[in-house]
Structure 1
Amino acid sequence: MDPSLLQINQKPKSKGKPGLPKTSTDYAIVSKQGLENDFNNFRSFKKKNDPNMALMLLSYDIIKNLNIEGWPVQPGDLGENLTFNNIDYSKFSPLQQYRVGEIEMEISFICDPCMTLKHLPYIGNEKVKDFIKTLVGRRGWYARVLKPGKIRKGDLLKKI
């Protein structure tokens, strides 16, 4: 089966609330800054809206593996904007370019796990250090948007 967009995840800015988990939407508009109606505090303030961090991608195989390991992760929990089906996480690497829906994007760099993950209801302060350790190298990839446009759940992911 071809790789496809399993889920689009977003979380609007909400004062006093963490950006995790992100919730599902069936379609979205993507600009050079990222997904409309999505806010990432780290990207916005610490990284000054770095265009190399416009989107965060994750493949569903990582979520399945985390579930097998006993972590009840669901799409959107790790802060990814786009969750893909039918592609091995190890296939992503920097500078690769992909098309999904109307957009084109380029993989920038891997996302490091952070303490924000403690806000997930099944993690908390007690488990966050262990969770971060297990996520090293598996949290997701950041991508730069080369061509803005619309995306829909189910859109195919094509390498360009």
Structure 2
Amino acid sequence: MAHPHEQLIRAVYTEFGKGNLDGVLALCSPDIQFHFRGDNVLAGDYDGAGLAQIAMKLGQIAGPSLQMNIEDVLADDTRGVVFLRDTLTRQDSGESYELRLLHVYRIENGKLTSFDELPFDQGAFDEAFRALGVPSITGPEEPVHSIH
């Protein structure tokens, strides 16, 4: 039988997938903290009110193409970990990405109190979520010209 916190965490993804940010926040403590690492448009720390900013940034980059595929959820009385495989196509360039991630939660009194996003490949995550209009750095190499 699944731990009740596994069900709590899965409910977050269901509500987020429906675009129901109020439903997500109802599953979180009032002082929830979201943390994104790296050099990308999502990087930073957000409180509950910042969830709308996160969703807006995801929408600007990936639009409806973002698919969050849960591979597994592990949970106990105080922590939860979600193994994800996300796919997306950037709105501005049409480039497609597949990213593997861990989402790590702290849980207190049946509510989520913190969220950390941990990409398996931070460079690929930063590339996928670079600012709009910034060209890909993984494109074709430009020739190096000597000035000698």
Normalised to the residue count of structure 1, the TM-score between the two structures is 0.27
Higher relative contact order (CA 8 A, sep 6+): 1
Normalised to the residue count of structure 2, the TM-score between the two structures is 0.28
Higher helix share: 2
